[in-house]
Structure 1
Protein backbone atom coordinates (compact mmCIF):
# COMPACT_ATOMS: atom_id res chain seq x y z
CA UNK A 1 0.00 0.00 0.00
CA UNK A 2 1.36 3.40 -0.93
CA UNK A 3 1.95 5.95 1.82
CA UNK A 4 1.65 8.89 -0.59
CA UNK A 5 -0.95 11.41 0.65
CA UNK A 6 -1.50 9.45 3.87
CA UNK A 7 -1.26 11.23 7.20
CA UNK A 8 1.64 10.30 9.45
CA UNK A 9 0.69 8.06 12.35
CA UNK A 10 0.98 9.18 15.98
CA UNK A 11 4.32 8.62 17.70
CA UNK A 12 6.42 9.84 20.60
CA UNK A 13 10.18 9.44 20.75
CA UNK A 14 13.31 10.85 22.35
CA UNK A 15 15.89 12.55 20.16
CA UNK A 16 19.30 14.18 20.33
CA UNK A 17 19.65 17.75 19.04
CA UNK A 18 22.07 20.58 19.80
CA UNK A 19 23.65 18.78 22.74
CA UNK A 20 20.33 17.98 24.42
CA UNK A 21 17.80 15.19 24.61
CA UNK A 22 14.37 16.32 23.43
CA UNK A 23 10.95 14.77 23.00
CA UNK A 24 9.60 14.53 19.45
CA UNK A 25 6.12 13.53 18.31
CA UNK A 26 3.97 13.53 15.20
CA UNK A 27 2.73 17.00 16.24
CA UNK A 28 6.26 18.37 15.70
CA UNK A 29 6.10 17.39 12.03
CA UNK A 30 2.85 19.25 11.40
CA UNK A 31 2.66 22.90 10.42
CA UNK A 32 5.87 22.85 8.37
CA UNK A 33 7.60 20.74 5.75
CA UNK A 34 9.64 17.87 7.21
CA UNK A 35 12.01 15.20 5.97
CA UNK A 36 12.02 11.93 7.91
CA UNK A 37 15.27 10.21 6.96
CA UNK A 38 15.57 6.58 8.12
CA UNK A 39 18.94 4.84 8.13
CA UNK A 40 19.96 1.37 9.42
CA UNK A 41 22.34 2.09 12.31
CA UNK A 42 24.78 4.40 14.05
CA UNK A 43 28.52 3.63 13.83
CA UNK A 44 28.24 2.09 10.36
CA UNK A 45 29.61 2.94 6.93
CA UNK A 46 27.16 4.35 4.35
CA UNK A 47 25.01 6.02 7.03
CA UNK A 48 27.56 8.64 8.13
CA UNK A 49 28.16 9.67 4.51
CA UNK A 50 24.44 10.28 4.03
CA UNK A 51 23.97 12.09 7.33
CA UNK A 52 27.03 14.27 6.70
CA UNK A 53 25.65 15.14 3.23
CA UNK A 54 22.39 16.20 4.89
CA UNK A 55 24.35 18.22 7.47
CA UNK A 56 26.25 19.98 4.68
CA UNK A 57 22.91 20.90 3.04
CA UNK A 58 20.91 21.58 6.22
CA UNK A 59 21.01 25.38 5.81
CA UNK A 60 19.45 25.05 2.34
CA UNK A 61 16.63 22.90 3.77
CA UNK A 62 16.13 25.38 6.62
CA UNK A 63 15.92 28.25 4.11
CA UNK A 64 12.92 26.42 2.60
CA UNK A 65 11.33 25.99 6.04
CA UNK A 66 12.10 22.27 6.11
CA UNK A 67 13.13 20.41 9.26
CA UNK A 68 15.16 17.19 9.07
CA UNK A 69 14.56 14.20 11.35
CA UNK A 70 17.15 11.42 11.01
CA UNK A 71 15.84 8.17 12.49
CA UNK A 72 17.39 4.81 13.32
CA UNK A 73 16.43 2.08 15.76
CA UNK A 74 19.36 3.10 17.96
CA UNK A 75 18.69 5.03 21.18
CA UNK A 76 19.12 8.76 21.62
CA UNK A 77 22.10 7.88 23.85
CA UNK A 78 23.80 6.11 20.92
CA UNK A 79 23.08 9.14 18.72
CA UNK A 80 24.85 11.40 21.24
CA UNK A 81 27.84 9.07 21.50
CA UNK A 82 28.12 8.91 17.70
CA UNK A 83 27.77 12.70 17.44
CA UNK A 84 30.52 13.15 20.03
CA UNK A 85 32.99 10.74 18.37
CA UNK A 86 32.54 11.00 14.59
CA UNK A 87 33.77 14.06 12.67
CA UNK A 88 31.06 13.52 10.02
CA UNK A 89 28.22 13.13 12.53
CA UNK A 90 29.60 15.93 14.70
CA UNK A 91 28.51 18.36 11.95
CA UNK A 92 24.83 17.50 12.44
CA UNK A 93 22.56 20.25 13.73
CA UNK A 94 19.26 18.59 12.82
CA UNK A 95 17.27 16.21 15.03
CA UNK A 96 18.46 12.61 15.46
CA UNK A 97 15.52 10.51 16.63
CA UNK A 98 15.94 7.27 18.55
CA UNK A 99 13.49 4.51 17.61
CA UNK A 100 14.44 1.54 19.83
CA UNK A 101 10.76 0.52 20.06
CA UNK A 102 10.64 0.49 16.22
CA UNK A 103 7.35 2.44 16.32
CA UNK A 104 8.43 4.98 13.70
CA UNK A 105 10.08 2.37 11.50
CA UNK A 106 6.86 0.34 11.55
CA UNK A 107 4.66 3.43 11.01
CA UNK A 108 6.60 4.35 7.88
CA UNK A 109 6.87 0.74 6.65
CA UNK A 110 10.69 0.52 6.67
CA UNK A 111 11.37 -1.90 9.53
CA UNK A 112 13.43 -4.95 8.58
CA UNK A 113 11.76 -7.26 11.10
CA UNK A 114 14.36 -10.02 11.21
CA UNK A 115 17.19 -7.66 12.21
CA UNK A 116 15.33 -4.83 13.95
CA UNK A 117 16.83 -2.15 11.71
CA UNK A 118 15.28 0.36 9.31
CA UNK A 119 15.73 0.37 5.56
CA UNK A 120 17.08 3.55 3.98
CA UNK A 121 13.77 5.38 3.70
CA UNK A 122 13.19 9.04 2.91
CA UNK A 123 9.79 10.64 3.50
CA UNK A 124 8.83 14.23 2.77
CA UNK A 125 5.89 15.34 4.91
CA UNK A 126 3.86 18.46 4.08
CA UNK A 127 2.56 20.93 6.68
CA UNK A 128 -0.74 19.02 6.92
CA UNK A 129 1.19 15.94 8.07
CA UNK A 130 0.70 14.08 4.77
CA UNK A 131 3.48 12.17 3.05
CA UNK A 132 4.29 13.64 -0.37
CA UNK A 133 7.51 11.81 -1.29
CA UNK A 134 8.67 8.28 -0.51
CA UNK A 135 12.05 6.83 -1.46
CA UNK A 136 13.36 3.51 -0.15
CA UNK A 137 16.72 2.09 -1.18
CA UNK A 138 18.68 -1.06 -0.39
CA UNK A 139 21.19 -0.90 2.44
CA UNK A 140 24.25 -0.47 0.24
CA UNK A 141 22.87 2.45 -1.77
CA UNK A 142 23.49 5.90 -0.32
CA UNK A 143 21.19 8.84 -1.00
CA UNK A 144 21.98 12.34 -2.28
CA UNK A 145 20.88 15.38 -0.24
CA UNK A 146 21.07 17.61 -3.34
CA UNK A 147 18.55 15.46 -5.18
CA UNK A 148 16.33 15.36 -2.08
CA UNK A 149 16.48 19.15 -1.91
CA UNK A 150 15.38 19.34 -5.57
CA UNK A 151 12.45 17.03 -4.87
CA UNK A 152 11.39 19.06 -1.81
CA UNK A 153 11.42 22.25 -3.92
CA UNK A 154 9.25 20.48 -6.53
CA UNK A 155 6.82 19.27 -3.85
CA UNK A 156 6.57 22.76 -2.39
CA UNK A 157 6.06 24.27 -5.84
CA UNK A 158 3.28 21.83 -6.76
CA UNK A 159 1.60 22.40 -3.37
CA UNK A 160 1.55 26.16 -3.91
CA UNK A 161 0.65 26.07 -7.63
CA UNK A 162 -2.47 23.91 -8.11
CA UNK A 163 -2.85 22.71 -11.67
CA UNK A 164 0.90 22.67 -12.37
CA UNK A 165 3.33 19.76 -12.25
CA UNK A 166 7.13 19.57 -12.34
CA UNK A 167 8.69 17.49 -15.14
CA UNK A 168 11.77 15.27 -14.81
CA UNK A 169 14.94 17.08 -13.75
CA UNK A 170 12.91 20.22 -12.94
CA UNK A 171 14.94 22.86 -11.14
CA UNK A 172 13.61 25.88 -9.28
CA UNK A 173 12.71 28.66 -11.74
CA UNK A 174 12.34 26.34 -14.72
CA UNK A 175 9.19 25.79 -16.74
CA UNK A 176 6.48 23.55 -15.34
CA UNK A 177 3.58 21.80 -17.06
CA UNK A 178 -0.16 22.40 -16.80
CA UNK A 179 -1.77 19.03 -17.63
CA UNK A 180 -4.62 19.45 -20.10
CA UNK A 181 -6.20 17.88 -23.15
CA UNK A 182 -3.97 20.14 -25.28
CA UNK A 183 -0.82 18.43 -23.97
CA UNK A 184 -1.93 14.84 -24.60
CA UNK A 185 0.50 13.23 -27.06
CA UNK A 186 2.60 16.39 -27.45
CA UNK A 187 5.30 15.70 -24.92
Structure 2
Protein backbone atom coordinates (compact mmCIF):
# COMPACT_ATOMS: atom_id res chain seq x y z
CA UNK A 1 0.00 0.00 0.00
CA UNK A 2 1.32 3.46 -0.86
CA UNK A 3 1.82 5.91 1.98
CA UNK A 4 1.76 8.93 -0.35
CA UNK A 5 -0.91 11.44 0.75
CA UNK A 6 -1.46 9.63 4.06
CA UNK A 7 -1.02 11.19 7.48
CA UNK A 8 1.89 9.91 9.54
CA UNK A 9 0.94 7.52 12.33
CA UNK A 10 1.44 8.34 16.01
CA UNK A 11 4.77 7.40 17.60
CA UNK A 12 7.06 8.33 20.49
CA UNK A 13 10.78 7.62 20.50
CA UNK A 14 14.05 8.77 22.03
CA UNK A 15 16.59 10.52 19.84
CA UNK A 16 20.13 11.75 20.21
CA UNK A 17 20.68 15.39 19.23
CA UNK A 18 23.37 17.91 20.10
CA UNK A 19 24.72 16.01 23.10
CA UNK A 20 21.33 15.19 24.60
CA UNK A 21 18.69 12.51 24.58
CA UNK A 22 15.34 14.01 23.57
CA UNK A 23 11.84 12.70 23.12
CA UNK A 24 10.48 12.87 19.58
CA UNK A 25 6.94 12.10 18.46
CA UNK A 26 4.74 12.50 15.42
CA UNK A 27 3.90 15.97 16.79
CA UNK A 28 7.51 17.05 16.08
CA UNK A 29 6.91 16.29 12.39
CA UNK A 30 3.85 18.53 12.21
CA UNK A 31 3.54 22.30 11.96
CA UNK A 32 6.46 22.60 9.55
CA UNK A 33 7.92 20.64 6.65
CA UNK A 34 9.96 17.61 7.68
CA UNK A 35 12.24 15.08 6.08
CA UNK A 36 12.58 11.64 7.66
CA UNK A 37 15.47 9.50 6.47
CA UNK A 38 15.56 5.82 7.45
CA UNK A 39 18.80 3.85 7.20
CA UNK A 40 19.70 0.23 8.02
CA UNK A 41 22.17 0.51 10.91
CA UNK A 42 24.77 2.49 12.80
CA UNK A 43 28.47 1.63 12.32
CA UNK A 44 27.99 0.52 8.73
CA UNK A 45 29.34 1.67 5.36
CA UNK A 46 26.92 3.54 3.08
CA UNK A 47 24.90 4.96 5.99
CA UNK A 48 27.57 7.33 7.33
CA UNK A 49 28.19 8.76 3.86
CA UNK A 50 24.49 9.57 3.50
CA UNK A 51 24.10 10.99 6.99
CA UNK A 52 27.24 13.11 6.59
CA UNK A 53 25.89 14.42 3.26
CA UNK A 54 22.67 15.41 5.06
CA UNK A 55 24.72 17.04 7.84
CA UNK A 56 26.71 19.01 5.26
CA UNK A 57 23.42 20.28 3.74
CA UNK A 58 21.41 20.60 6.96
CA UNK A 59 21.68 24.41 7.03
CA UNK A 60 20.06 24.54 3.56
CA UNK A 61 17.10 22.49 4.79
CA UNK A 62 16.76 24.75 7.83
CA UNK A 63 16.81 27.89 5.63
CA UNK A 64 13.75 26.43 3.91
CA UNK A 65 12.05 25.83 7.28
CA UNK A 66 12.47 22.07 6.94
CA UNK A 67 13.52 19.86 9.85
CA UNK A 68 15.48 16.64 9.26
CA UNK A 69 15.23 13.42 11.28
CA UNK A 70 17.22 10.24 10.75
CA UNK A 71 15.90 6.88 11.99
CA UNK A 72 17.34 3.41 12.41
CA UNK A 73 16.37 0.47 14.58
CA UNK A 74 19.45 1.08 16.72
CA UNK A 75 19.05 2.67 20.16
CA UNK A 76 19.64 6.31 20.98
CA UNK A 77 22.66 5.08 22.99
CA UNK A 78 24.14 3.56 19.84
CA UNK A 79 23.52 6.83 18.00
CA UNK A 80 25.47 8.72 20.70
CA UNK A 81 28.36 6.24 20.59
CA UNK A 82 28.50 6.49 16.78
CA UNK A 83 28.28 10.29 16.93
CA UNK A 84 31.16 10.38 19.44
CA UNK A 85 33.40 7.99 17.49
CA UNK A 86 32.89 8.85 13.80
CA UNK A 87 34.11 12.13 12.27
CA UNK A 88 31.36 11.88 9.61
CA UNK A 89 28.55 11.27 12.10
CA UNK A 90 30.04 13.80 14.52
CA UNK A 91 28.93 16.55 12.09
CA UNK A 92 25.23 15.74 12.60
CA UNK A 93 23.07 18.42 14.27
CA UNK A 94 19.65 16.95 13.37
CA UNK A 95 17.83 14.42 15.57
CA UNK A 96 18.91 10.78 15.26
CA UNK A 97 15.85 8.76 16.31
CA UNK A 98 16.39 5.37 17.91
CA UNK A 99 13.70 2.84 16.99
CA UNK A 100 14.65 -0.47 18.66
CA UNK A 101 10.99 -1.54 18.85
CA UNK A 102 10.51 -0.90 15.12
CA UNK A 103 7.39 1.19 15.72
CA UNK A 104 8.48 4.17 13.63
CA UNK A 105 10.02 2.00 10.92
CA UNK A 106 6.86 -0.10 10.65
CA UNK A 107 4.64 3.02 10.69
CA UNK A 108 6.45 4.24 7.58
CA UNK A 109 6.38 0.73 6.04
CA UNK A 110 10.15 0.44 5.52
CA UNK A 111 10.93 -2.45 7.89
CA UNK A 112 12.59 -5.39 6.16
CA UNK A 113 10.50 -8.43 7.09
CA UNK A 114 12.33 -10.84 9.35
CA UNK A 115 15.51 -8.71 9.43
CA UNK A 116 14.76 -5.96 11.96
CA UNK A 117 16.43 -3.29 9.83
CA UNK A 118 15.00 -0.38 7.86
CA UNK A 119 15.29 0.01 4.12
CA UNK A 120 16.76 3.28 2.88
CA UNK A 121 13.54 5.26 2.95
CA UNK A 122 13.21 9.02 2.53
CA UNK A 123 9.96 10.83 3.29
CA UNK A 124 8.99 14.47 2.73
CA UNK A 125 6.17 15.44 5.08
CA UNK A 126 4.08 18.61 4.89
CA UNK A 127 3.07 20.73 7.92
CA UNK A 128 -0.21 18.80 8.25
CA UNK A 129 1.76 15.57 8.75
CA UNK A 130 0.88 14.25 5.29
CA UNK A 131 3.52 12.37 3.30
CA UNK A 132 4.16 14.18 0.01
CA UNK A 133 7.13 12.21 -1.37
CA UNK A 134 8.76 8.83 -0.79
CA UNK A 135 11.97 7.30 -2.09
CA UNK A 136 13.14 3.82 -1.15
CA UNK A 137 16.41 2.36 -2.35
CA UNK A 138 18.20 -0.95 -1.89
CA UNK A 139 20.85 -1.18 0.81
CA UNK A 140 23.80 -0.61 -1.52
CA UNK A 141 22.41 2.53 -3.16
CA UNK A 142 23.25 5.74 -1.31
CA UNK A 143 21.12 8.87 -1.54
CA UNK A 144 22.08 12.45 -2.45
CA UNK A 145 21.11 15.36 -0.16
CA UNK A 146 21.23 17.86 -3.05
CA UNK A 147 18.63 15.81 -4.96
CA UNK A 148 16.54 15.63 -1.80
CA UNK A 149 16.79 19.42 -1.46
CA UNK A 150 15.58 19.76 -5.05
CA UNK A 151 12.57 17.57 -4.28
CA UNK A 152 11.82 19.48 -1.08
CA UNK A 153 11.92 22.78 -3.00
CA UNK A 154 9.53 21.33 -5.59
CA UNK A 155 7.15 20.16 -2.84
CA UNK A 156 7.29 23.59 -1.20
CA UNK A 157 6.65 25.28 -4.55
CA UNK A 158 3.68 23.09 -5.46
CA UNK A 159 2.15 23.60 -1.99
CA UNK A 160 2.51 27.39 -2.30
CA UNK A 161 1.27 27.55 -5.92
CA UNK A 162 -1.95 25.56 -6.35
CA UNK A 163 -2.60 24.70 -9.97
CA UNK A 164 1.09 24.50 -10.87
CA UNK A 165 3.33 21.45 -11.08
CA UNK A 166 7.08 20.99 -11.38
CA UNK A 167 8.29 19.09 -14.46
CA UNK A 168 11.20 16.64 -14.55
CA UNK A 169 14.55 18.04 -13.43
CA UNK A 170 12.83 21.23 -12.22
CA UNK A 171 15.06 23.52 -10.19
CA UNK A 172 14.10 26.54 -8.12
CA UNK A 173 13.37 29.53 -10.34
CA UNK A 174 12.70 27.48 -13.46
CA UNK A 175 9.45 27.35 -15.38
CA UNK A 176 6.61 25.23 -14.02
CA UNK A 177 3.51 23.88 -15.72
CA UNK A 178 -0.15 24.72 -15.21
CA UNK A 179 -2.00 21.57 -16.24
CA UNK A 180 -4.93 22.33 -18.53
CA UNK A 181 -6.76 21.01 -21.56
CA UNK A 182 -4.56 23.29 -23.70
CA UNK A 183 -1.41 21.34 -22.67
CA UNK A 184 -2.77 17.88 -23.54
CA UNK A 185 -0.60 16.40 -26.27
CA UNK A 186 1.61 19.50 -26.50
CA UNK A 187 4.36 18.51 -24.12
- What residue in structure 1 maps to residue 75 of structure 2? 75
Q: Per-residue displacement from partner, 1:39-85 (whole Å, max 9, x unpaired)? A: 00000000000000000000000000000000000000000000000
TM-score in terms of structure 1 length: 0.99
Distance 2:2 2:119 in 1: 16
**Superposed counterparts of 1:96-111, under 5 Å:** 96-111=96-111
How many aligned residue pairs are there?
A: 187
Distance 2:117 2:40 in 1: 5
CA apart distance, 1:114: 1.4
TM-score in terms of structure 2 length: 0.99
- What residue in structure 2 maps to residue 19 of structure 1? 19
Runs of 4+ in 1 over 2 A off after TM superposition: none
Q: Per-residue displacement from partner, 1:72-106 (whole Å, max 9, x unpaired)? A: 00000000000000000000000000000000110
- What residue in structure 2 maps to residue 30 of structure 1? 30
Distance 2:29 2:151 in 1: 18
**What value does the CA root-mean-square deviation take over the aligned residues?**
0.4
Distance 2:72 2:166 in 1: 31
- What residue in structure 1 maps to residue 163 of structure 2? 163
- What residue in structure 1 maps to residue 129 of structure 2? 129
The alignment partner of 1:111 has SS state of: coil
CA apart distance, 1:33: 0.3
- What residue in structure 1 maps to residue 57 of structure 2? 57
In structure 2, the gaps of 5 or more residues are: none
- What residue in structure 1 maps to residue 176 of structure 2? 176
In structure 1, the gaps of 5 or more residues are: none
CA apart distance, 1:108: 0.4
